[in-house]
Structure 1
Amino acid sequence: MDLEKSREEQAGEGCLVVALRMPVRSVALVLVVPVRMVWDALVVAGRFLNGRVFRPMGRALAWVGRAVFVWPFVALWRWVLVPLGVALRWLGLVLVVVPAGWLYRWVLTPVGHALAWCGRGVFAVTSLLVAGIATALYWTARVLVVWPAAAVWRWVLAPVGRVLAVVAREVGAAFGHAWRVAGYVSLAVGRALAAFFRWTVVEPARWVYRTVLTPVGHAVRDAVLRPVANAARGVGRITRDTLRSVRVTARQVRQDVRRALLGGPGTAGKRDDQAVKGAVVSPGGRDDRIPLAKR
């Protein structure tokens, strides 16, 4: 579409336009590409700052400005100046308005009518003089200024202006075309940088993670961590069983000692008989009566 439009425009334009277009567009493209890239970066940064910094700061400053400047002046106007103005207005009606009305009616009005009549006469004479002088100045300015200026405009400035308009239009079109091309170039550079970053950083990191770190992690898990965890669970199980057995044995020993020392309820006589029967006579004829429970 752009090529067809440019060809149609070239077909209806003169040699000067065609001769100026390509050099101007080439220079504009070289100048505008870095500016467009910087502009895109500034636009992104400006949108971020506007959304995250400037707009909340502006709301806060607006609220502070209203609280510091607007609300005190509104309160001063509403509660001080307005009542004071009302009071002064009524005071000016008991002291100023009535004497001023009398002075206006009986003094100023007759004097004003007289001055107005005199002024109308002076104005008429002055109007005639001014009209004559203005007519003479008009024709003098027309002959000395307007006609030469019109000739200069028609035969000098208008052709030069047309040429400059053509040049300015072509320069503007060249810069617009260069701006659009620079946008495409900036987009291509951005995509190229993104692809370069992807193939130099992201894809190697993904490959290392998938082909190196994942198998190594699985191997470490299967060869080291899982056996260690199983051994730790086995040790913990054995420790718990041992502690449980020790607790059961200690409880049984305490019960046996308590039963051997104190006996159960109603076993005192049986314990004495067992102690007599369990006495041992020493070889030397000495009775070593040692209860069986203590032995």
Structure 2
Amino acid sequence: METDKRPPGEGHGGGDGCLVGVIRLPVKILAVLVVLPVRVVWELLVAGGRATHRHVLAPLYVHVVEPLLRALGWLLATLLKLVLVWPWVGLWRYLITPVGRGLAWLGRGAYAYLLAPAGRILMTYLLRPLGAALAWIGRGGLRYLLAPLAQGVTWILWALAMTLCVWPWAALWRYVLVPVGRGIAWLAAAVHRYVLTPVGHGLLWLAAAVFRHLLRPVGLGLAWLVAALYRYLLRPLGTYVLRPIGRVLVGAWHVAGRILAALWQGLKWVGRVLVGWPASWVYRYVLTPAGHAVREVWRTGRAAVREARATVRRALFGTPPVEPTRSRARTLGSTTAAGNTPAPEISLHERQG
């Protein structure tokens, strides 16, 4: 069975199902009676609006409305200047500025011819002599009154500070801490001279005697004993007993390793013969063909289900509308239709597989 080379919409009665044929006629009637008149009226309104905007509203705005708006803006700006700007400019220019200049001229004249001479006279004949007299009085009071008073207060404070803070600590240091410290130093020197020094010399002599007459002979004896034990007992024991035993144990270890390796190889061979080869044979000659058969059955059943589902869909809804063969099969950027080339002859089972 070869595939059909014709498009799905050709040779099958249009490919429309019964349900699509029942719904399509009322929809076409509704589109002709309602949608088409509404679309025509909408297009007429759009065209009329564009023509009105291009030939009426735009020239009216350019030649009438825009000049009127510009004239109105200029008029409003002029009125605002007349009402809000120019009165304040005239007031500042013709009233405030001349009045300010006159007041400044009067102020400079009053300062130059009235206030400055009066100030100089007042400073020369009143304030300066008064300041000199007050300074002389202040210097005399400071020299003959405040200076002795300050010296007396300073001496009193110094005496109080020495009495309360310095002299008690000085007396404590001189009459208590210094004698006590000297007594403690004399006692420490006596203890060091007559107690610690003889005791230290005695301990040093005792330690030297113990080291010379006890520890050194004992240490020498222990060293000789250890050397003798190593020479006459431990070294012969290691040479003639422990070393041969170690060599025997190492050889036994190597022999046991070889025996275990041989046993492991034998077990591996037995496992391969008894388990591996039968399992490989079962997988290759039983499970693999069974799996291929199950896969073919599954593919065939799935293809049958797809074909039945497609048949039901075509019976209910029909095939979707398709383009003509030449326009649908034409390649991008080419003038030759791809449908002119013969289709490969492939069976349905080969496609599904």
TM-score normalized by structure 1?
0.31
Larger Rg: 2
Bigger relative contact order (CA 8 A; separation at least 6): 2
